Amino acid sequence: MLKMVAGGAISKGALCVSSSGKAVEAAADVTTQIIVGVAAEAVAAADDIVTLYPLNGQLLEIDVDTTGTATTFADSDIGFDFDISVSSHDFFIDPDDTTGPLILQSYDNDRATAVVFVPNTFIQMM
C-alpha cells in the first residue's frame, strides 16, 4: 500500500495521479501527470492521508470507453499509449486518444476490457 497526502476529496476506488506532490483524482488528459494508484478508501479533504493500491509498473485490467468514435482495439494497437477517460469517478481506457499514460498489452473487444501497463515513473523519497 502507498500513503500520500491528498490534494482534495478523493472517492474510494478513484484512479489517482500525482499533482504537486499530492494525490488527486484523475481526470481525462493525464498525459502530464503520473498515475500513482487507486484509492483504497475515501478521504474528505485536502491534506488528509489517503491509502492507495499502487499501480506503477503494474498491469491493470480496465474497461474500455465505448462512448467515443473508436470503441474497440486491433492487434496493431498493442504496445501503444492511450489516455484515460473519467466519468463519475469511474475510469476507462480511451481508444480515441493515443497520447496517454496507459500502454495497451491486450484487449477483449467482446467484454470491452483491456489490459494495460502503467509505467513505473513515480519515485518519491519519504
Same domain, 65 and 46: no
**Owning domain of residue 64:** 58-118
Q: Is residue 123 part of a domain?
A: no
Does this model's pTM top 0.75? My answer is yes
Least confident of 42-46, 92-96, 111-115, 117-121: 117-121
Residues 37, 2 contacting (CB under 8 angstroms): yes
Cα-Cα end-to-end distance for the chain: 14
From 54, 72, 87, give the residue that closes a domain: 54
Same domain, 29 and 79: no
Res 28: pLDDT:
63
**Greater model confidence, 84 or 80:** 80
Confidence of residue 44 (pLDDT cuts 50, 70, 90): very high
- Does the CA dihedral 59-60-66-68 come out positive or negative? negative
Q: How far apart are CA 116 and CA 97, in angstroms?
A: 14
Least confident of 14-23, 66-75, 84-93, 101-110: 84-93
Distances in Å between the Cα of 32 and the Cα atoms of 20, 61, 110, 123 are 12, 22, 31, 15
Sole residue written with cell 491528498: 6
| Radius of gyration for the alpha carbons in the chain, expressed in angstroms and rounded | 14
Q: Is the pLDDT of residue 20 over 80?
A: yes
Same domain, 79 and 105: yes
Confidence of residue 113 (pLDDT cuts 50, 70, 90): very high
Q: Could you give the number of structural domains in the chain?
A: 2
